[in-house]
Structure 1
Amino acid sequence: MISTRAQRTAGATKYDPANGEITISLASISLAWDAFEQHGWEQFSSTVRHELIHAWQYHEFGEADHGRTFDRWTDMLNTTQHCERFKSPNWWLICEECGGQLPRFQRSKVVKQPENYSCGDCGGSLRVEEATE
């Protein structure tokens, strides 16, 4: 499946527990080509292997994450736990307490009203900064 809305990742794996269907979505062709041109075949093919691990997790366990079952396959499949971002965000959410930074690509509710949300790691207040890239 090809997504025309993907902005921060080159791929995603989804599982429908109702019918057991596992779908691996790759970013739109233009974004996929941008990722390929920016990072090369090795990085982009690593993303595909990364998503295949998630597909295996869904098949075997009905859920997927980047935990221990994921980690045990990364070396064997020559991939990483987190794929490199291939598009710069438009905004950064920054925690005032722990300094954590989360990229944001769309003007979502949390970008518009960060005072209504808190950091998922420490509960601190959030502020929004426009990305400079």
Structure 2
Amino acid sequence: MKQEAFCYIRMKSMIEFEHRIRVLMKEAEEELRSIGIKPSSKILEIKANHRAKKRLGCCKVEKKGLGQVFRIEISTALADARDKALKQVILHELLHTCPGCFNHGTKWKKLAKMVNQTYGYHIQRMSTSEELGITTPAAEQRVHYKYCIRCKRCGSTSYRMRKSRVVDEPQKYRCAKCGGALEVDQI
């Protein structure tokens, strides 16, 4: 019985969160239109994603016939976030639906800057839970890296949680900053 009650509460809160993000998306679309930014009219859905642990939002594009359609997902980690923080993530994803803005290129950055200056948001390529004023179990967990990749020339470092090509064969890669040889240490 307790398990059923828990599932009901979780499902109810998920439905409430999805309703909340739909309402905020309509407000966000209006804010964009009022400053001359036109997000796509072909957004099929915005939905909550309870499995997303490391990302706060995602905009997916699908080819349909001659055009594109979009699906936006918002992490349930934002369920307790203030409306402004949640709307900021939604705006970030909505900007990806504008023509020429699917990546975080020059046009996307220009539109994000315009929204930030007009409404006081802090839309950027990547935001952390802490920047948005929320704490999540995932945000509280410290990331444990297994590998440290270090440049022999300039000493710059990067970290990896999993094995990758650069971890397996560092001699085939060079430092992005200075072109120096790389070495890998297991942490």
TM-score w.r.t. length of structure 2: 0.47
Q: Which runs of 5+ in 1 are unaligned?
A: none
Q: Does residue 114 of structure 1 match 2:167?
A: yes
- The count of corresponding residues between Structure 1 and Structure 2 is 116
The aligned residue for residue 25 of structure 1 is 73
Q: 1:48 aligns with which of 82, 86, 90?
A: 90
| Structure 2 segments unaligned to the other structure (5+ residues) | 1-46, 117-121, 130-138
**How far does residue 55 in structure 1 lie from its aligned partner after superposition?**
1.6
Q: Which amino acid aligns with 1:115?
A: D
Shift of 1:9: 1.7
The two structures have a TM-score, normalised by structure 1, of 0.61
User: How far 1:128 sits from its partner (Å)?
Assistant: 7.3
Q: Give the deviation of 1:14 after TM superposition.
A: 1.1
The percent of aligned pairs where both chains have the same amino acid is 17
SS in 2 for 1:44: helix
Check whether the contact 1:92–1:101 (CA below 8 A) recurs between aligned residues. Answer: no
Distance 1:33 1:70, change over 3 A: same
- Larger radius of gyration between Structure 1 and Structure 2: 2
Counterpart code for 1:71: K
Contact 2:149 2:167 in 1 (8 A): no
- Greater percentage in helix: 2
